[in-house]
């Protein structure tokens, strides 16, 4: 199926479902909708970042969270997170809810549920979605964000500031 014809829930500012429409209609009309983002850490406490494929319609070629995707109509945030993790990175992991971001300009009108997981499993990136992926030390990401913020998606910049300031993110 063409991604423009995927069906998502339309939600209000409180993340309550108020309708359904195609991806294309939602994006063209800047309607609020949902997505899930996953932060994948390894045992060295490094964070895996993906560089979005150049063919993507939003933020092509920019660094982003480990895995992310729109929540399909009838799907939960948790189901979406597990699906996207496997579709994009070829891994299955225990996901821990981390935080929620309310829909805003930086999230492109998406309410985002963010999850974390820890794995040293081999990651097999999906070349249709991702041009490359690398584990980075958090301080290196912070430095790169300060030097060249334009190489990162707006939602990642918003989310990463929360990662650095959130005491609840505990490394096992």
Taking only the tens place, the pLDDT of each residue in 79-122 is 999 999 999 999 999 999 999 999 999 999 999 999 999 999 99
As a whole number of angstroms, the distance between CA 25 and CA 156 comes to 24
> Does the structure show a pLDDT above 70 at 171?
no
As a whole number of angstroms, the distance between CA 124 and CA 106 comes to 28
Q: What is the pTM of this model?
A: 0.93
For the beta carbon of residue 148, count every other beta carbon within 10 angstroms: 10
> Does the structure show a pLDDT above 60 at 153?
yes
CA 89 from chain center: how many Å? 12
- Please provide the average confidence, as pLDDT, over all residues in the chain: 92
3-state SS record for 70-81: ECECCCCHHHHH
Chain length of the chain: 172
**Could you give the domains of the chain?**
3-165 (3.90.79.10)
Report pLDDT for 172. 41
Tens-place pLDDT, residues 6-40 = 999 999 999 999 999 999 999 999 999 999 999 99
């Amino acid at each position: 199926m063409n991604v423009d014809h995927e069906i998502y829930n339309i939600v209000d500012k409180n993340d309550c479902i108020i309708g359904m429409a195609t991806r294309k209609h939602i994006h063209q009309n800047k309607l609020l909708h949902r997505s899930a983002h996953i932060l994948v850490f390894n045992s060295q406490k490094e964070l895996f970042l993906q560089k979005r494929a150049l063919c993507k319609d939003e933020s092509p070629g920019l660094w982003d969270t480990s895995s992310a995707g729109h929540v399909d109509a009838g799907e939960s945030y948790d189901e979406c997170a597990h699906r996207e993790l496997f579709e994009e990175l070829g891994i299955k992991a225990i996901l821990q809810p981390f935080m929620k971001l309310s829909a805003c300009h930086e999230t492109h009108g998406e309410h985002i549920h963010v999850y974390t997981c820890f794995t040293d499993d081999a990651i097999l990136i999906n070349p249709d979605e991702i041009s490359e992926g690398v584990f980075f030390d958090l301080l290196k990401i912070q430095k790169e964000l300060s030097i060249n913020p334009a190489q990162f998606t707006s939602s990642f910049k918003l989310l990463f500031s929360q990662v650095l300031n959130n005491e609840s993110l505990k490394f096992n």
